[in-house]
Every structure is written in C-alpha cells, then in structure tokens.
Structure 1
Amino acid sequence: MIAIFSDTHSPRGHELEGEALSAAREADVVIHAGDFTSTSALEAFEDECDRLFAVHGNADSAAVRDRLPTARTVDEEGVRFAVTHRREGGATGLSMFGRSRGADVVVSGHTHRPTLVETDDVVLVNPGSHAQPRGNRLGFAVLESRSDGFEIELHQPDGTPIDAIERSRNAGTD
C-alpha cells in the first residue's frame, strides 16, 4: 500500500491522526507533495514512515527546500508516480508533466482540495491536506496495486471515503 499526503503546514510535527496516521505507519511507501512548512514536520514524517518520497512546496522553509527536490519520479509496486507540489496549467499542465515522465499517476498538492481526475494517459491525485483544509475537506490518499492495475482512494483522516478511481494496466494505451 502507498499512502499519499500533501500540505501539512505545521511548525511542530506531522499532524497525522486517525486512519491517516495508521496509513502512514502501515504503508510500504509514503509520498508527500510538499508544504511540510518546517523541518520538524518533515522529520516527524520520516520518523513515522518506512520509506518517504517527498518534494518541497511553495510554503516550505529554506531548510526543507534544501533537503527536497521540486519534482521527482517514483517507481513502486508497478506504478510510476510523477510528484510535484504545483504545476501551472491546471489539469492539462499536470497531465503533460506526467506524460513527460512516463507516469501512471501524477501526485500534486497546493490547493488543499482532495481531488481525483482520470485522463486518457494518467490519473491526477491531489490528496488535499490532512491538517489544514482551508475550506475544503481534510484528506489523504491510498493506492493499492493489483495484478491488473491499481485503485486510488481519497479518505478523510478518520477513514471516511471521499472518492476512488480504479485503473487497469492497459488504460491509456489503446
């Protein structure tokens, strides 16, 4: 299982609770799309997760930006992720970013709005913020890989489902 987070915005720690905290602890991999804000928040995530792949966001301190890239590609469980905090051009810009990296899934943040969008080529996932919703629902995402594809689910930190997309391995290749 892969847990996906973004927009922690904390001066103290990871701000995870409930099912979001369980997902971070139990995941094989955690992906974070930036805006930890502080090194304390980044290090708290590192302490909770076996393997963390993160990028920095626009609100991250200089110390966090020095430790994390702006964008990265992650290959896990047969799925290729292109990760960025934000990309100009909305869904089109994110899709182009994903295609340029040969991704199956593009993970982004910034809007604090949990969102799943299925395009012909990639699935766009913004897990929202598990701690600072800014008028949106609190959120995080979980991806389960299967032999025939994968499923991404958005959840509130208490585990309440928000949305889900199933994708077959051959989707977008016809």
Structure 2
Amino acid sequence: MHKYLMVSDTHGRDDNFYKVLDIEGKLDGIIHCGDFEGSEGKFAIAADCPVYFVSGNNDFFSTLKRELDFTLDGHRVFLTHGHMYLVSMDLENIRAEGMSRGAEIICFGHTHKPVAKTMGGVYVFNPGSLSYPRQEGRRPSYIILTIDGDRVDAEIKYL
C-alpha cells in the first residue's frame, strides 16, 4: 500500500503544510493542485518524497506546468488546478477532460472545497484548501490518498 498527500490552494501561507507533514509521517508522494504563490520550491525540498505539482491561477511567475498526466501505482492520474475547466460551476468538464486522457484519478483544486467521489467511473478529488477553506465550518483540509493494487481510497482530513 502507498500513501500520498494531496493539498491545494496554500497561497503562500505555509504553516499548515508543514503541520500536515508532521501529522502524516512517511509519504510515498505529494500532490499539490496549485496556487502555491511562491512556495513550491520549499515544499519540494521539505517533502522528502516524489512530488507532483501544477501551477494555479494565482501562480503568476511559476515555471510549473498547468497540467500533468502521470501514473501512480498503475493508475493514470490527471492533475490540474481546475480553473480552466470551470470547476466552480460543476465537475462535468474536468471529468470529461480526465476521461479523454485515459485518467482513472482526477485531482484538482481552485474551489477551496474538498471533494472525494466517483463520477462516471473515475475518481474525482479536490483536497480543498489548507489556507483559505470555503466549505461549511471553514476548516483547513487535505486528502490522504491510499493505493493498494486496484483499490484507491481517499480520506478528506481536517486540521
């Protein structure tokens, strides 16, 4: 079994990211769905594991790609911030894009609201925001993604 941390929308407020690293311990990888606002280099150094990072709509000077397609433990992943797919309106555009790329797992941010569900045969995950949560209760959130063979599980966790 492999354990991945998924975060998003940290917006230069980094303390909660480091708290989560302490809480979660050993990780097999970190996925950041964008809107670092300058922290991506520090996060990559602190991670001590493989990282999968994309830029968001507020990462004006970032050299990160806007989208990544990669494989985790045999599962195809589509990673993007989400703003280009109108995720604040609904998730159909991002789901369709992920499926067109052959993704089994779609990871995005932008809305600052956590999501972990299956749509039309694909997993759709948004870790929410560690810095500026917008869901009811407004608690900073992240996702722990575990993959064990064919089994993919995502747990939304709160600070």
Range of TM-score over shorter length: 0.7 to 0.9
CA contact (8 A) 1:85 1:110 kept: yes
The equivalent of 1:32 in structure 2 is 32
- Give the CA deviation at 1:120: 2.1
- 1:1-174 equivalence runs, <5 A: 1-10=3-12, 13=14, 15-18=16-19, 20-22=20-22, 26-38=26-38, 41-49=39-47, 50-62=49-61, 64=62, 67-86=63-82, 87-88=85-86, 90-134=90-134, 136-157=138-159
| Cα 1:59/1:25, change in 2 over 3 Å | farther
- Give the CA deviation at 1:77: 1.5
The gaps in structure 2 that reach 5 residues or longer are none
Identity %: 29
- Give the CA deviation at 1:78: 2.1
Q: How many residues align?
A: 150
Distance, in Å, in 2 between the alignment partners of 1:88 and 1:53 is 22
Three-state SS of the structure 1 residue aligned to 2:91 is helix
Superposition CA RMSD, Å = 1.9
**Larger displacement relative to structure 2 (67-76 or 134-143):** 134-143
Runs of 4+ displaced beyond 4 Å: none
Distance, in Å, in 2 between the alignment partners of 1:24 and 1:8 is 17
The gaps in structure 1 that reach 5 residues or longer are 158-174
- Give the CA deviation at 1:134: 4.0
CA contact (8 A) 1:24 1:30 kept: no
- Give the CA deviation at 1:84: 0.7
- Give the CA deviation at 1:48: 1.5
Distance, in Å, in 2 between the alignment partners of 1:45 and 1:23 is 16
The one-letter code matched in structure 1 to 2:22 is S
Three-state SS of the structure 2 residue aligned to 1:26 is coil
The one-letter code matched in structure 2 to 1:61 is F
TM-score (norm: length of structure 1): 0.78
